[in-house]
Amino acid sequence: MFGARHMVEGNFAFLLLASGAAIASPVGGWLGSHGKIGTLFLSISVGMAAGVLLGTFTFEMIPTAGAAAGKIPTIAGFVVGFLTVYIFDLYINHGFIAGHESDEWHKLSRLHRIQRARGSKVTLLAGSTAIEELIEGLSIGVGLAADPNLGVMIGVAIMLDNVVEGMSIAEIIRADEGENASRSIYIWTWLIGLALFSSATVGWTFLSDIAPRMLGVLLAFGAGGMFYLTIADLLPRSAKTQYQQSAALAVAAGFLLIFALTNR
């Protein structure tokens, strides 16, 4: 009886977290489609999301993975997760990425005049976000299977991140399509939410009963992918729109919030 009750509670927690994280993307899209998102608000919200994600895989995901799988498998899983997203980033940019102020930027500009990136700006952002959601969804399912408290922490962090991503996608689509952008915004953000829910379901349904060591490796894989996205996307985006170091303050607040909530 206890086992059945525990299973029901676990399934309910999963549905709550996975649904909430999936719906967060269209919620962000709705917010972005109804009025201008100020740069200060964007800097604080993106910075907070980055800080929360940094705290989640620093204080929760990596330590849990290390305890379950050991140091070397955890490092290997993290590297594979990091490289998976990095290679996808290189693919959509024809193998070359450079910052606007780098010495190599003129090479990238010339390359993209000859070979455009694989898709429009909206397609690239939404497509890369969907790949991110697959990894984040898997992390929710695996994290909840490894430790309910960890699953909740990951789920809440991803909800915040997805609201921010939805707002960013809405801003870009509105800039391209003007006042008629609502339909495209909702289509893209709901597809992104569906990608997360699908991968979370796979993680919870098919991977929850595997050996703890393998769960640890999968958790490290998710942490590696989320680390790349946080460092390469969220932090630069937050810093670009900051005012009075609002980005740094928000990142610190999100990071310390997770530290305060952790049981370690």
Residues 173-200: tens digit of each pLDDT? 877 777 677 888 888 899 889 989 998 8
pTM beyond 0.85, yes or no: no
Task: Give domain status of residue 69, yes or no.
Answer: yes
* Structural contact between residues 5 and 204, judged by C-beta atoms closer than 8 angstroms: no
The yes-or-no verdict on residue 39 having pLDDT over 90 is: no
Task: Give domain status of residue 86, yes or no.
Answer: yes
Task: Give domain status of residue 235, yes or no.
Answer: yes
Q: Which domain holds residue 252?
A: 29-95+119-263
Task: Give domain status of residue 4, yes or no.
Answer: no
The yes-or-no verdict on residue 5 having pLDDT over 50 is: no
Q: What is the mean pLDDT of the chain?
A: 82
Range picked from 81-90, 106-115, 120-129, 169-178 for highest mean pLDDT:
81-90
Task: Give domain status of residue 141, yes or no.
Answer: yes
Task: Give domain status of residue 162, yes or no.
Answer: yes
In whole angstroms, give the CA distance from residue 149 to residue 168.
Answer: 29
Task: Give domain status of residue 112, yes or no.
Answer: no
Task: Give domain status of residue 123, yes or no.
Answer: yes
Closest C-alpha among 109, 47, 84 to residue 235: 47
Please, what is the end-to-end C-alpha distance for the chain in angstroms? 31
In whole angstroms, give the CA distance from residue 261 to residue 174.
Answer: 37
pLDDT value of position 83: 93
As for how many domains the chain has, the answer is 1
| DSSP-assigned letter for residue 101 | T
Closest C-alpha among 220, 215, 196, 264 to residue 14: 196
Query: Bigger pLDDT: 64 or 173?
Result: 64
